[in-house]
Amino acid sequence: MLIEKGGVTSPKGFRASAGYAGIGDDSVKGDIAMIVSSVVGNAAAVYTKNKVKAAHISVMKNHLEGGMAQAIVCNSGNANTCTAHGREIAQRACEIAGRELGIDPVFVLPASTGIIGVQMRPAPFERTIPELAAGLSRDNAAAAAKAIMTTDTRPKEAAVSFKAGGRECVLGAVAKGSGMIHINMGTMLSFMTTDAAISTELLQKALDEEIRDSYNQVSIDGDTSTNDTLAIIANGEAGNVMIDREGADYDSFRAALHEISVEIARKIAGDGEGCTKLIQAHVKNAPGKEEARVISRSIICSDLVKTAIFGEDANWGRVLCAIGYAPCDFSAINIDVDLASAKGVLPVCRGSFAEDFSEDIAAEILSEEEVDIEVDLHDGTEEAYAWGCDLTYDYVKINGEYRT
């Protein structure tokens, strides 16, 4: 169940802080954040599949070899990617945090986001991390969410509650992501915290499985970032019996993980660079789960679909086109398509043929900030969702001027 105004400090034993290190250019928003657990917890992560990777990824992978972590340090404004001494600087940030927190630096996970190919310096971390360590509080989740943003227009955080072993547990999340977002890991930076006791092995299994139906079903612009990382720390402060095997408690955790992951995925898609609308594609009655995933992604990745939604033009032929070139096997002879929003549901295609409809009603439905594209393949029993956004003039402006 979603917790109102929840975030990464909603689970027991987690605190956060945020500050301005001079890495980015917004001193009000901040550019560095820290999330800390009261105790060392089990941890896991998934990363971008881009062959060019940020320096923090190799450091984080190394630190997670033991499957445990206690803190996260994340900066915005500089991706620390394709820089000569990036790995050393990420490691130095962990060393400073470890010293200030009184913990082994191996339990600190570094992360960076921002411009690629700009040299990073250690001085901002040396100057600011001590302030972050001194300012840790359960009240700072929102400040941390703002500090890791880049072109995001709003912070992205959530928390859900669930039961495990008769105990009330909480799972919190924060993310940043607005551009350079596409399939192949999790398409942004996202950090999760939970007070549930769960083994590292099951945390990793849960993340690996979950991203297929949430984080990996988001696309803004077709560009998979070099920095994508989703990490989770579970500190066991809820007091439940350790979840170390599949069963009812693991199922409860997985349900909570899916709920919060979809919530974050939708927030990222709805804040795509320059966007005015969140697009949700729902494909049902597909021959297989993966086919449903692939087809729904094909729809939200189509530039022609995205521009049609921006123009509030019910050009459903573009949806059929995107379905048709999806790289998987299915029958395209009996496809139904509806366009929907808070203003209603409009059938536009039946049996892969045109359905008469009112353009005025279509424009009214497409005027909403959230538009659903409902597709029934009539070719099986599986379904999947994907999330994207419209493609606007502002997207070109933002990215044409991103560095300068």
What are 135-166's pLDDT values in tens digits?
A: 999 999 999 999 999 888 899 999 999 999 99
> Of the candidates 172, 170, 173, which has an alpha carbon nearest to the alpha carbon of residue 195?
170
Of 187, 200, 229, 392, the catalytic one is 187
Active site residue 224: no
User: What pLDDT sits at residue 179?
Assistant: 66
User: What pLDDT sits at residue 361?
Assistant: 97
Residue 290 Cα distances to 22, 167, 286, 347, 388, angstroms: 44, 35, 9, 25, 18
User: What pLDDT sits at residue 178?
Assistant: 72
Structural domains in the chain, CATH included, are 14-269 (3.60.70.12), 278-400 (3.10.20.340)
Query: Each residue's pLDDT tens digit in the chain (404 positions)?
Result: 899 999 999 999 999 999 999 998 888 999 999 999 999 999 999 998 888 889 999 999 999 999 999 999 999 999 999 998 999 999 999 999 999 999 999 999 999 999 899 999 999 999 999 999 999 999 999 999 999 998 888 999 999 999 999 999 999 999 998 765 565 654 579 999 999 999 999 999 999 999 999 999 998 777 677 888 999 999 999 999 999 999 999 999 999 999 999 999 999 888 888 889 999 999 999 999 999 999 999 999 999 999 999 999 999 999 999 999 999 999 999 999 999 999 999 999 999 999 999 999 999 999 999 999 999 999 999 999 999 999 988 888 877 776 66
Phi, psi of 213 (to 5 degrees): -115, 10
CA 202 to chain centre: 20
User: What pLDDT sits at residue 182?
Assistant: 66
**Two tokens at 298?**
């094909």
* Secondary structure letter of residue 243 according to DSSP: B
Bridge partners, residue 61, by sequence:
none
User: What pLDDT sits at residue 103?
Assistant: 98
> Of the candidates 272, 53, 80, which has an alpha carbon nearest to the alpha carbon of residue 179?
272
**Helix H or strand E segment including 251:** helix 248-269
Bridge partners, residue 33, by sequence:
18, 74
Burial status of residue 276 (CB atoms within 10 A of its CB: 0-12, 13-18, 19 or more): middle
Q: Output the pTM of the full model.
A: 0.93
CA-based radius of gyration for the chain: 21
